[in-house]
Structure 1
Amino acid sequence: MESNKKYWKGLEELNNTPEFVESNKHEFAESLPIEEVLSGNGLAGKTPRRDFLKTLGFGIGAVSLAACQKVPVHKSIPYLIKPEEVTPGVANYYVSSYKGHSLLVKTREGRPIKIEGNPNDVLSKGGVNAQVQASILNLYDATRLKGPMQDNGDVAWSQLDEYVKAELTALKASGKAIYLVSSTINSPSTLRAIADFTAAYPATKHITYDAVSYTGIIQANQNSFGKAVLPHYRFDNADVIVSFGADFLGSWISQAEFMSQYASKRTWKQVDEGKKMSRHIQFESRMSLTGSNADVRIPIKVSEEGPALVNLYNAIAGTTLPGTKKLNNAIAENAIAIAAKELLNAKGRALVVSGSNDVATQVLVNAINSLLGSYGTTIDLDNPSYQYAGNDNDIVALMEQMKGGAVGAVLFMGANPVYDYYQSSAFADALKKVRLKVSFAGHADETGAECNILAPTHNYLESWGDENPIEGYYTVVQPTINPVYDTRQAEQSLLIWANAPVKDYYTYVRNTWNTTLLAKGNLAGQGGWEALLQSGFVKAANKPATTYTFSRDLNAVAQTILAQSAKVAADQGKLELQVYESNTIGDGNYANNPWLQELPDPVSKVTWDNFVSMAPKTANDLKIEEGDLVNIKANNYSAQLPVLLQPGQAQGTISIELGYGRTKCGKVGEGVGRNAFPYRSFVNGTFQGNLVAEIEKVGGDKVILAQTQTHHSYEGRDVIRETTLQEFVKNPEKALGKGEKHKTYDLWDEYEYPQYNWVMAIDLNACTGCGACVVACNVENNIPVVGRDEVRRRREMHWIRIDRYYSFDNKGETVTKEKEIDKLDNLDHVSVTYQPMLCQHCDHAPCETVCPVLATTHSSEGLNQMTYNRCVGTRYCANNCPYKVRRFNWFNYWNDSRFENYLQNDYTELVLNPDVTTRFRGVMEKCSLCVQRIQAGKLQAKLQKRPLKDGDIKVACQQTCPTNAIVFGNVNDPNSEVAKALKSERTYYVLEELNVKPGIGYQAKVRNRTATEA
């Protein structure tokens, strides 16, 4: 164990600020507002807890009486003729696909309520990320378009079709261009439909525009190898990974897939049994999710990423490209030398990636990977990814065409350039010169507001279709519910407008599979189609991956990189700005999803906002404090944002998240944050997000960000254990500090668990902190969203949270005023560890001993149970819980009109899981280890007249985790996965010295560092 490390959640905890000290004096976030409890009015009261108990003395009868009052009953009409496949109380599962991932959609009484990954999914092996989990809520969004519209008025589909066909026919005769602008489409059926539309209107040009694009990689492969493709990266084949700003565990290309690959080289089976793991070195300016998980992370400026890559190439190739200069960063220079040596030692099992969208930069990356023998092993160009195919040049050319009046019609499918184009206002102005403007968006978004025709498409859960995310892998999309509104698939609209012989899109998709795709999976006919609808995909054999030799002259490439790097280097008084895609709401497509808005950003732990991320030393130099509102000027655009002091941010740089600042997306996302897309620029044929910015402090009150990082304190207790691989291999016991345990005493008899003892193991080496488990738990257990103001009051309701800890080697020294500057420099080189924290289901649960009404009790299967209708909200249990994992629901969040912008509308109650009680206000909530799933699993085994098997039951957080960091099961079964995992040498129990006997064991974090790096 690295005993000389100090772990802390935020700068306020590290610095022990007066505000932090004051907040930790109180056992709860704020006093119980008794007038609010009794009257239901107001959001925050000041009644002291002691006075509340006095009031409770006379109020127990009233509380008991209120508990007996009936909740309004909404009568339902039973099925007159029950569908054959629907059995009330029994879930049905349907395969579908989203973003190329094969899924299982759980439905109850005909309504989809939960998304799970298909265990056989080729990409992520059954895991899905937070965005896929939360996508179920988009189906029930009351702000979706209810039907077609023309010139801002409702219209029938038949009238709209007649008008559009007449306009297209007229444009066809005039010879004016028709553009179909879409985000990346990898659906064979959709591409066929577009081809049929183009055949009917030959002036049509289909262009692909991705708000966050990978044109730089695609074009670099065209320049290097004559293949304009996005490679299929294989992190699971890499022993050494070096990344330059590529957030591949976050928003870069394929999050769930890459997390699954990455963790496969770092989980307990590899570390404990094989005593080895992959090594990951990250160079970056902002603290990304990927950088926070790296073995070694080197903060460098935005302007240094290009020169650093040039120096790495020189070190590997044994040459010196013209213009090469040493970095003004001794730590980075040393790390580059180490990385080059280790990459060469891992030749054939090495991988270098870059997050840059610059073509020249990606060409140099190709050259490095070619020298390392990565093609055919860790990079596959023969079985490429089709997840992104955008070409930035095309959308720029379209705007010029629109300006010149040469475009007669533009149809937008999954693209919203009026919001996310780098010159969005100019794009909107150019669009006004187009005669026919059609949007297929499900919402009247920013681009739809500029269109005269709105032809809303179905939600994917209402649709037929298919996807081809990587070469040879084809997934099917099938509807799990009838359309909620009067929408129609965009593909069907195209076929109708093209007068295609087959206009029914289901039949069209069937034809695609019957003629071409079923054969790839050795399927055919009706039987093959039915087998597909059960399996969810077909997978053709991979094409043989071949090696590629890079032979291009790199002198001009290096000059381009170095020249561009010099342009983004900030002068005195300015800062280097980098914009990046949000890990929660993506490029803005998920801005109206409250589960994602309230999911804390993995690194900053901020919800409901974007911000300016700045190094503490830089802020100190500029006399800026956290929460100050600043104006950022760059690229002829300015926006005011609050400052967040981010440990690990490179000095002299700032970062801003994309995806915020939506003006038309629905009640949840509108007006949240500021739009950062206009900070991007079009350079050398691609959109890039690195530039020089001016910063100006704005007067006024500080902005309090809804940040969750220090909402719960452990009072300095030891909760994290980590070591290096070297130390772990040498002496596991010593490395993890497993000395003599604290002596404990039992005051009562141990519980007996004759058949089942449900426990959990969580591998900190596999957990990336992504937050998918948090959203999965929200969906499964009907956990409400409370909004920005309530999060600021520390009232978020998440049953599982991801604690993020910073650390650096301070050798036990106390930070004094004299050492302040040194401390700020140290904050550039922090390590990050993530720890999922949920109810530990303790055998000696301290919450159980203090509950006056036996609302929380212990089961004969090891579960700490909550009986909601007993709970009177004393909150004694939360006070007595050392893990701070209990949540008090201050309001009836699902039905209170004050929260109607979040989950409350006419339809969102349809997403509720009927197997889980929807809690009324005034009770304690916490993780139940998905007891409803436990009961369902036992019942299923009983119906099948067999014993319950290990793996029959998976809790929601476990099932969604792309890295398999969470293992759940019956520890009484010695052959269960959880029993094996808990036998790991790395297993420890958080706060076990308190003798609460937690039921969740953690496997300590191991980093693959050398002695000097540790």
Structure 2
Amino acid sequence: VLLGSDIFASGRDRVRYMRDFAEKRKVKDNQMSKVYAFEPAISEMGANADERYRVKMSDLHMVAGALLLQLIYMDKRIPGLAEGITSDIIVKFDPYEIEEKLGLPMGTIKKLSDDLWNSRGKSIILSESAANQGENSHFLHQLVHGLNSLLDNEGNTIETESIPDSHMLSGYDELRQLVNDMNADRVSAILIAGTNPVYSLPDDSGFADALKKVPLRISLDDRINETAELCEYVLPGLHGAESWGDYEPYTALYAIQQPTITPLWDNRQLEDSLIAFGFGLGNQDFSASEAPIKFYDYLKNYWERNIYRNSELAGDFQSFWVKALQHGFFESKDYKTEGFKAAELQIEPEAILDRVNGLSNETELILTASSLHIDGRSMNNAWLLETPDPVSRIAWDNYLAIAPSRAHEMGLKEGDVVTININGRSLKVPVHLAPGTHKDSAAIMVGWGRTSVGDVGNNVGVNAFKLAARSNSDLYFTLTGAEFSKTGDHIPLASVQGHNYIEHRPILFETTLAEYKRDPAAGQHEGHGKRQTLWKQDHRYPGHKWGMIVDLNSCIGCNACMTACQVENNIPVVGKNEMLNGREMHWIRVDRYYTGDEENPETVHQPMLCHHCDDAPCETVCPVLATVHNDEGLNLQVYNRCVGTRYCSNNCPYKVRRFNYYDYYESAYKEKPLHMLLNPDVTVRTKGVMEKCTFCIQRIRDARHKAKSKGQPIGPDDVKTACQQTCPAGAISFGDLNHKESIVSQKSHEQRAFKALVELNIGPNVSYLTLVRNTDVKKDKHEDEEH
């Protein structure tokens, strides 16, 4: 159950959560997990919910309170806890009253209560989110903690013993104390590394002015950022790909970071600088003879003293070290976590419920984190700037997401600029009409509007961090009392998706778990029977025939596949203006479709790429045979034959072929060391050439060479495409369709499997598994929406 939480967007463990979440969404033995989401705007995780309800962030604590009251008082699930519930609490949190006031369907709280109680010890309620920090957030978190305890989740689905002490970071209290100390001249020197407070704090925090009072200011970063500009010295560090390091994601699980390339420049790793400072101050722990120890040696010595010896392993340390480097991690088998039990917690529901504020009547503004840029750290990465947002499908800008109904009332259209006024601060930003947004809520992503990050990311978007509010002990990212006024200006937003609804076209299919249990092929249309052909029999591929299948239940729409494909295949970045012209170059895209009412729609994601059709319509119209088929079922593009007629693109029903309108190499990669971004195994295309997905043919070739050197054939699942390898949810499978033991062959014969637009008789070799929702709520499909 998500109460304003989006663990896909930010957090140190989000990739693991994505994988685990997707695994639970797979339909196994007619079972799958169920996800409820209560949130003000569609989040990345909320987009994957089975049942989603629009609730203002500042009112989520009322949902938690009503749920708690339903469990302990209405249903009397836990004996003894209902005794302290007063009549005032009952009136305040009556589930039926809360449902009516929040616009929830009648019986929602009761149904949720029953599902949670029947899944106690196997469920989880989440309120973790950077945006979930506001005036009522502490009430919400207390209630969620109490609910998880009462449902026996703590110690089962939630455990804290495996969280290392290194994860306990300082908070805003400590930062505020630092500002006070700098203002009082109690700080004579400051080292700043891995953080950018001048950018990410509101102006009235006073950090920038206080920093200027410190006599010695040193920045240890890989570039000059907004904070480094105020420092006297900038000691350029190394990129993560050039650095050694280690990390303890969970207690007794040790990961080791190894450099993938030697340093490009004569810079020094952050840790080497810190060691040099310590050595210069006389600390002998950092000495190696008469010079400071190298961080690599320090790291190796640390592992020997603190990890190898404590684990009491057989064998010498050097063997242990080499094995750890080969595996990339070491896990101590002797350690066992002992999560605390719910019975150890003293829950007093009446004490919490009695203090909680009521419903909010004001418009709220939510400052959200983007999964692509988080706090703005990647804003100079052109690949990520060109990757569209998973929900809005907009790239190269942040925006104010508001409900379509509110936009219509204000006379706003997509891209119109408004002024946000809140708590005496203002910000101008274009609007995006976002289906599924609460009418009294609006959201804007932080991490944009950098002024000192690099040539690519400078002055892209606006800095929403400046709107954050300060409390005594924290920063608020959910703000009430927001006002929006139309300016008359307009900024076009670069969206890669021009049509948001399926309108019953056979592109993808979805069903419910109950329908799937009755008929595993539920949701699909009957089609046109066997594929029609002019030939007596289909063309046969006696060797390999490559194909792909995508599980729509697992695809979370994160767009990792898009970026991986772009990096792997030397796909150029075209920029916002060309994207506005519809000239994006991505070989794979993740379409996001809405179904149902636009005020509260359901969402589905579908990766779309070249389907390598057996009867490819692109091949029949090319006048120079630049697009042809090979003997392994791949639709190939011969670049030096292509004359750029673009007939193939016009004839492709999936619209996945891309044309080079410019010679992007000259402007993007020719200057050193940018040429090192290119994959030497993939041809760099030039102006006037068509390109598209190749099923990573270079990886197929590499697998063939490796198999040949071993004197054996390619295994059914030996080849992994870049998109498949990178997908955190494991939604993509690739392999040999001719091999009955391959994963892709087995999945393609499941009854859930379907092919998009199969009735066109083109024989696509990319299949999908029907999306199954674990819900009994059947929403009406949207038929008359705008494009």
1:1004 and 2:777 matched: no
Q: Name the SS of the counterpart of 1:352 in structure 2.
A: coil
Displacement after TM superposition at 1:283 (Å): 0.4
Displacement after TM superposition at 1:702 (Å): 2.0
- 1:346 matched to which residue of 2? 119
- 1:405 matched to which residue of 2? 185
Displacement after TM superposition at 1:741 (Å): 2.9
Q: For residues 409 and 560 of structure 1, what CA distance do their matches in structure 2 show?
A: 44
1:558 to 1:485, Cα distance in 2 relative to 1, 3 A: farther
* Corresponding letter in the other structure for 1:505: F
Displacement after TM superposition at 1:432 (Å): 1.2
- 2:244 matched to which residue of 1? 464
Q: 1:908 aligns with which of 654, 666, 674?
A: 674
1:891 to 1:740, Cα distance in 2 relative to 1, 3 A: closer
Q: Which string of whole-angstrom CA distances, capped at 9 and with x for unpartnered residues, describes residues 448-483 of structure 1?
A: 001111112111111111111121111111222221
* Corresponding letter in the other structure for 1:483: P
1:755 and 2:514 matched: no
Query: TM-score, with normalisation over the residues of structure 2?
Result: 0.90
1:885 and 2:656 matched: yes
Q: 2:66 aligns with which of 298, 311, 319?
A: 311
The answer to whether the Cα contact below 8 Å between 1:387 and 1:470 also exists between their aligned partners in 2 is: no
The answer to whether the Cα contact below 8 Å between 1:611 and 1:641 also exists between their aligned partners in 2 is: yes
- 1:843 matched to which residue of 2? 614
1:966 to 1:872, Cα distance in 2 relative to 1, 3 A: same
The answer to whether the Cα contact below 8 Å between 1:632 and 1:693 also exists between their aligned partners in 2 is: no
The answer to whether the Cα contact below 8 Å between 2:753 and 2:770 also exists between their aligned partners in 1 is: yes
Q: Name the SS of the counterpart of 1:498 in structure 2.
A: helix
Q: How does 1:466-615 map to 2 (within 5 A)?
A: 466-499=246-279, 500-501=283-284, 502=287, 503=292, 504-519=294-309, 522=313, 524-541=316-333, 542-546=335-339, 547-548=341-342, 549-555=344-350, 557-558=352-353, 561-562=356-357, 566=360, 569-570=361-362, 575-615=363-403
Q: Which string of whole-angstrom CA distances, capped at 9 and with x for unpartnered residues, describes residues 359-418 of structure 1?
A: 443222111101011122211111126656342211122112222222222211101100
- 1:44 matched to which residue of 2? none
Q: For residues 906 and 714 of structure 1, what CA distance do their matches in structure 2 show?
A: 45
1:727 and 2:512 matched: no
Q: Which string of whole-angstrom CA distances, capped at 9 and with x for unpartnered residues, describes residues 722-759 of structure 1?
A: 00000110123344334663763335753221110000
Q: Name the SS of the counterpart of 1:647 in structure 2.
A: coil
Query: TM-score, with normalisation over the residues of structure 1?
Result: 0.71
* Corresponding letter in the other structure for 1:860: D
Q: 1:943 aligns with which of 703, 709, 714?
A: 709
1:556 to 1:633, Cα distance in 2 relative to 1, 3 A: farther
1:432 and 2:212 matched: yes
Displacement after TM superposition at 1:761 (Å): 0.7
1:367 and 2:146 matched: yes
Q: For residues 520 and 1000 of structure 1, what CA distance do their matches in structure 2 show?
A: 50
Displacement after TM superposition at 1:919 (Å): 0.5
The answer to whether the Cα contact below 8 Å between 1:773 and 1:957 also exists between their aligned partners in 2 is: yes
Q: Which structure 1 segments of 5+ residues have no match?
A: 1-241, 809-825
Q: For residues 227 and 676 of structure 2, what CA distance do their matches in structure 1 show?
A: 29
Q: Name the SS of the counterpart of 1:782 in structure 2.
A: coil
The answer to whether the Cα contact below 8 Å between 2:502 and 2:593 also exists between their aligned partners in 1 is: no
Q: Name the SS of the counterpart of 2:104 in structure 1.
A: helix
* Corresponding letter in the other structure for 2:521: E
Q: Which moved more, 1:328-337 or 1:772-781?
A: 328-337
1:880 to 1:491, Cα distance in 2 relative to 1, 3 A: same
1:258 and 2:13 matched: no
1:646 and 2:426 matched: no
Displacement after TM superposition at 1:639 (Å): 0.9
Q: For residues 552 and 988 of structure 1, what CA distance do their matches in structure 2 show?
A: 50
The answer to whether the Cα contact below 8 Å between 1:520 and 1:539 also exists between their aligned partners in 2 is: no
Q: For residues 663 and 377 of structure 1, what CA distance do their matches in structure 2 show?
A: 46
Q: For residues 756 and 520 of structure 1, what CA distance do their matches in structure 2 show?
A: 50
Displacement after TM superposition at 1:827 (Å): 1.9
* Corresponding letter in the other structure for 2:716: D
Q: Name the SS of the counterpart of 1:981 in structure 2.
A: helix
Q: For residues 729 and 580 of structure 1, what CA distance do their matches in structure 2 show?
A: 38
Q: For residues 353 and 655 of structure 1, what CA distance do their matches in structure 2 show?
A: 20
1:382 and 2:161 matched: yes
Q: Percent identity?
A: 38
Displacement after TM superposition at 1:622 (Å): 2.3
Q: Which moved more, 1:348-357 or 1:318-327?
A: 318-327
* Corresponding letter in the other structure for 1:247: D
The answer to whether the Cα contact below 8 Å between 1:714 and 1:883 also exists between their aligned partners in 2 is: no
The answer to whether the Cα contact below 8 Å between 1:859 and 1:865 also exists between their aligned partners in 2 is: yes
Q: How does 1:584-983 map to 2 (within 5 A)?
A: 584-683=372-471, 685-710=473-498, 717-738=505-526, 741=529, 744-747=532-535, 750-808=538-596, 826-896=597-667, 905-983=671-749
Q: Which string of whole-angstrom CA distances, capped at 9 and with x for unpartnered residues, describes residues 492-527 of structure 1?
A: 212211223333111110111111123466374111
Q: Name the SS of the counterpart of 2:487 in structure 1.
A: coil
- 2:2 matched to which residue of 1? 243
1:559 to 1:247, Cα distance in 2 relative to 1, 3 A: same
Q: For residues 538 and 309 of structure 2, what CA distance do their matches in structure 1 show?
A: 60
* Corresponding letter in the other structure for 1:531: K
Q: For residues 366 and 750 of structure 1, what CA distance do their matches in structure 2 show?
A: 61
The answer to whether the Cα contact below 8 Å between 2:717 and 2:736 also exists between their aligned partners in 1 is: no
The answer to whether the Cα contact below 8 Å between 2:502 and 2:595 also exists between their aligned partners in 1 is: no
Q: Which structure 2 segments of 5+ residues have no match?
A: 74-81, 781-787
Aligned residues: 740
1:445 to 1:380, Cα distance in 2 relative to 1, 3 A: same
Q: For residues 537 and 716 of structure 2, what CA distance do their matches in structure 1 show?
A: 29
Q: Name the SS of the counterpart of 1:785 in structure 2.
A: coil
Q: For residues 721 and 579 of structure 1, what CA distance do their matches in structure 2 show?
A: 34
Q: For residues 253 and 946 of structure 1, what CA distance do their matches in structure 2 show?
A: 41
Q: Name the SS of the counterpart of 2:442 in structure 1.
A: strand
Displacement after TM superposition at 1:263 (Å): 1.0
The answer to whether the Cα contact below 8 Å between 1:615 and 1:648 also exists between their aligned partners in 2 is: yes
The answer to whether the Cα contact below 8 Å between 1:253 and 1:387 also exists between their aligned partners in 2 is: no
The answer to whether the Cα contact below 8 Å between 1:251 and 1:583 also exists between their aligned partners in 2 is: yes
Q: For residues 302 and 372 of structure 1, what CA distance do their matches in structure 2 show?
A: 23
Q: For residues 560 and 405 of structure 1, what CA distance do their matches in structure 2 show?
A: 41
Q: For residues 629 and 604 of structure 1, what CA distance do their matches in structure 2 show?
A: 17
- 1:279 matched to which residue of 2? 34
- 1:110 matched to which residue of 2? none
The answer to whether the Cα contact below 8 Å between 2:60 and 2:140 also exists between their aligned partners in 1 is: no
Q: Name the SS of the counterpart of 1:644 in structure 2.
A: strand
1:930 to 1:712, Cα distance in 2 relative to 1, 3 A: farther
Q: For residues 67 and 741 of structure 2, what CA distance do their matches in structure 1 show?
A: 47
Q: Name the SS of the counterpart of 1:578 in structure 2.
A: strand
Q: Name the SS of the counterpart of 1:804 in structure 2.
A: strand
The answer to whether the Cα contact below 8 Å between 1:778 and 1:784 also exists between their aligned partners in 2 is: yes
1:391 and 2:146 matched: no
Q: Which string of whole-angstrom CA distances, capped at 9 and with x for unpartnered residues, describes residues 800-829 of structure 1?
A: 000000011xxxxxxxxxxxxxxxxx3222
